[in-house]
């Protein structure tokens, strides 16, 4: 317990390899109880400038450190992350409201995996270019150069994972980063910065500034920022991308979705129900790749609904540190208001049939002051309803029945699945793998699954199509977002092929 009576000490900014204070603070709240957890120092213009300056000073040396040496340092950070896994997971549970059963097995683990992946990739030649033998006396080679000082701006749903998915390839490629976590979930950032420092990452290479959208805006528009890697809502992403475009900055945009989860008539029922539940209730539905539009054939509808209802007892809200709890509250009061507004809209205005749940709290936590909402299922949904068109980002599963005997039913189904401005994820459940591949090939989304949902390992490049984003994170392709390429043509003949010789 910190001296303020709050659970955590005051959280400073971090730059120049040390903790830094400012003149104003804000609070982060435990969403499971609606009580403050810590005071956070808020960045102002001068501290943002100082953080960027420290990154600029660190860049010449870090960017020219051989990749294998950078890799050794980053691998030490991986070991520290794994050593402190449970301690970091507890912080994430307090800050986000996600159960410890989840944060201890997913959030830190998948972040550390990505850091390990990129540390190993750059050590093994992942930043090498290509050579082309153009003609006997000329060749071309390409090199990859780091971009400079990059901004990382994170969302609140996977705080430490997002911080690592951005900083891992950024630092491995030789860049420096100024990272701004969401003001709703800032607690992981200091820990991560200090782990990097303990591992040997030089001062100024990874820096943290705290605050809300105005701080993100100042970072994005700062002339010394070469790239902005952003995770958040489509509407914010549009603002950030246009601010970055004004300075011709590189961007990666990881934005929201309204993804289709397609159950084909021959699907294994148990697998389809498990997939649809993972695609809607994991992390209390606060996952960008959620498959919130669940298309179910009329021929399977009744069985699907019955089995889904039977399994809803396995969604367990409760004490977040209890290993059996697998469902937490929503992250914040405003987000709780937003999600419950959508649920009420679904019942009162969209006229969808409420199959399970609703806008109240789960019974097991009915007396809590936290931002809990029941896992909720609507059925008989149509494509024009607000709840099937907009990203809710909560535990709200919408069943959209389709006729699987009508002529061209598959074409119509694919058209309906694609009928959204977003294109983050999509998935299909079927026993017929040929059909599964053919359907996936027609879905307009950057991340797709066949007979599973949600796994996103370090090796898999992920990124949205359409309004869901630009570029990818993770996998071999992910490193390309943090370098610029240079092509060099070398003439070995010793004479310039000039047009200006004497006649």
Nearer to ligand NDP, 184 or 250 (CB): 184
Q: How far is the CB of 189 from ligand NDP (least distance, A)?
A: 11
> Which listed residue (12, 111, 126, 216) binds ligand NDP by CB under 6 A?
216
Q: How far is the CB of 241 from ligand NDP (least distance, A)?
A: 10
Q: Any contact of residue 471 with ligand NDP (CB under 6 A)?
A: no
> Which listed residue (63, 224, 233, 271) binds ligand NDP by CB under 6 A?
233
Cβ atoms 393, 256 nearer than 8 A: yes
Question: By rule CB under 6 A, what count of residues binds ligand NDP?
Answer: 30
Cα 439 versus chain centre, distance: 25
Nearer to ligand NDP, 158 or 304 (CB): 158
> Which positions from 2 through 41 interact with ligand NDP, judged by CB under 6 A?
none
Q: Choose one: 18-26, 213-221, 304-312, 400-408; the region binding ligand NDP (CB under 6 A).
A: 213-221
Q: Strands 138-146 and 131-135: what pairing?
A: antiparallel
Sheet order of strands, 469-470 included: 18-20, 13-15, 206-208, 176-180, 149-153, 225-231, 250-254, 469-470
> Which positions from 366 through 425 interact with ligand NDP, judged by CB under 6 A?
391, 393, 424
Q: Which residue minimizes CB distance to ligand NDP? A: 216
Cβ atoms 145, 36 nearer than 8 A: no
* x/- letters, 169..208, toward ligand NDP (CB under 6 A): -----------x-xxx------------------------
Cα 142 versus chain centre, distance: 31
Active site residues: 254
Nearer to ligand NDP, 275 or 471 (CB): 471
Q: How far is the CB of 70 from ligand NDP (least distance, A)?
A: 25
For 57-94, b/e burial (b = at least 16 CB within 10 A) is bbbeebbeeebeebbebbbbbbebbeeebeebbbbbbb
Q: How far is the CB of 13 from ligand NDP (least distance, A)?
A: 14
Q: Any contact of residue 231 with ligand NDP (CB under 6 A)?
A: yes
> Which listed residue (16, 202, 213, 358) binds ligand NDP by CB under 6 A?
213
Cα 149 versus chain centre, distance: 21
Could you tell me the end-to-end alpha-carbon distance of the chain, in angstroms, rounded to an integer?
A: 87
Could you tell me which residues come within 8 angstroms of residue 296 by beta carbon, excluding any fewer than 6 positions away? 263, 304, 399, 400, 401, 402
Strand partners, 254: 231, 469
Q: Any contact of residue 274 with ligand NDP (CB under 6 A)?
A: no
Q: Any contact of residue 156 with ligand NDP (CB under 6 A)?
A: yes
**Which residue spans within 102-167 are E strands per DSSP?**
131-135, 138-146, 149-153
The two tokens of residue 242 are 């246009």
> Which listed residue (189, 241, 255, 426) binds ligand NDP by CB under 6 A?
255
The two tokens of residue 333 are 């009061």
Nearest residue to 169 via CA among 187, 154, 150: 150
Q: Any contact of residue 275 with ligand NDP (CB under 6 A)?
A: no
Q: How far is the CB of 464 from ligand NDP (least distance, A)?
A: 6
Q: Which residues bind ligand NDP (CB under 6 A)?
A: 153-157, 180, 182-184, 212-213, 216-217, 220, 231-233, 236, 239-240, 254-257, 288, 391, 393, 424, 464, 469
């Amino acid at each position: 317990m910190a001296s303020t009576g709050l659970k955590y000490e005051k959280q400073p900014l971090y730059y120049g390899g040390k903790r830094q204070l400012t003149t104003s603070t804000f609070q982060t709240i435990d969403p499971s109880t609606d009580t403050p957890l810590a005071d956070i120092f808020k960045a102002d213009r001068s501290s943002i400038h100082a953080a960027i300056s420290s990154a600029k000073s660190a860049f010449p040396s870090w960017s020219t450190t051989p990749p294998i040496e950078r890799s050794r340092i980053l691998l030490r950070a991986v070991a520290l992350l794994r050593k402190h896994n449970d301690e970091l997971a507890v912080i994430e549970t307090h800050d986000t409201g996600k159960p410890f059963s989840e944060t201890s097995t997913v959030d830190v683990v998948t972040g550390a995996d990505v850091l390990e992946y990129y540390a190993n990739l750059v050590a093994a030649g992942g930043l090498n270019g290509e050579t082309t033998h153009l003609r006997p006396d000329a060749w071309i080679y390409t090199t990859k150069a780091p971009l400079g000082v990059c901004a990382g701006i994170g969302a609140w749903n996977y705080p430490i994972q997002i911080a690592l998915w951005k900083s891992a390839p950024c630092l491995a490629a030789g860049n420096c980063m100024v990272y701004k976590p969401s003001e709703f979930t800032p607690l992981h950032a200091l820990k991560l910065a200090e782990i990097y420092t303990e591992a040997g990452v030089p001062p100024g290479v990874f820096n943290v500034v705290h605050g809300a959208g105005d701080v993100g805006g100042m970072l994005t528009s700062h002339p010394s920022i070469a790239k902005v890697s952003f995770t958040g809502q489509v509407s914010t992403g549009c603002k950030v991308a246009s601010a970055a475009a004004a300075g011709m900055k590189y961007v990666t945009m990881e934005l929201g979705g309204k993804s289709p989860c397609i159950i084909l008539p021959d699907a294994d029922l148990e697998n389809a129900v498990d997939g649809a539940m993972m695609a809607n209730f994991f992390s209390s539905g606060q996952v960008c790749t959620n498959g919130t539009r669940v298309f179910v054939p009329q021929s399977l509808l009744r069985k699907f609904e019955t089995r889904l209802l039977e399994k809803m007892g396995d969604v367990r809200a409760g004490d977040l540190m209890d290993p059996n709890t697998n469902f937490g509250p929503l992250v914040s009061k405003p987000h709780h208001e937003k999600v419950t507004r959508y649920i009420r809209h679904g019942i009162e205005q969209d006229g969808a049939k409420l199959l399970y749940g609703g806008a109240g709290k789960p019974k097991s936590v009915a007396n809590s002051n936290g931002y809990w909402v029941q896992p909720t299922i609507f059925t008989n949904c149509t494509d024009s309803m607000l709840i099937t068109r907009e990203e809710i980002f909560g535990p709200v599963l919408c069943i959209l029945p389709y006729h699987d005997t009508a002529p061209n039913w598959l074409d119509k189904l694919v058209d309906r699945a694609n009928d959204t401005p977003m294109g983050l994820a999509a998935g299909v459940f079927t026993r017929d793998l040929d059909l599964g591949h053919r359907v996936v090939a027609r879905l307009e989304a950057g991340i797709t699954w066949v007979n599973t949902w949600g796994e996103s390992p370090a090796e898999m490049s992920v990124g949205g199509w359409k309004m869901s984003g630009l570029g990818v994170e993770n996998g071999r392709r992910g490193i390309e977002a943090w370098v610029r390429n240079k092509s060099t043509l070398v003439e070995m003949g010793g004479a310039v092929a000039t047009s200006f010789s004497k006649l």
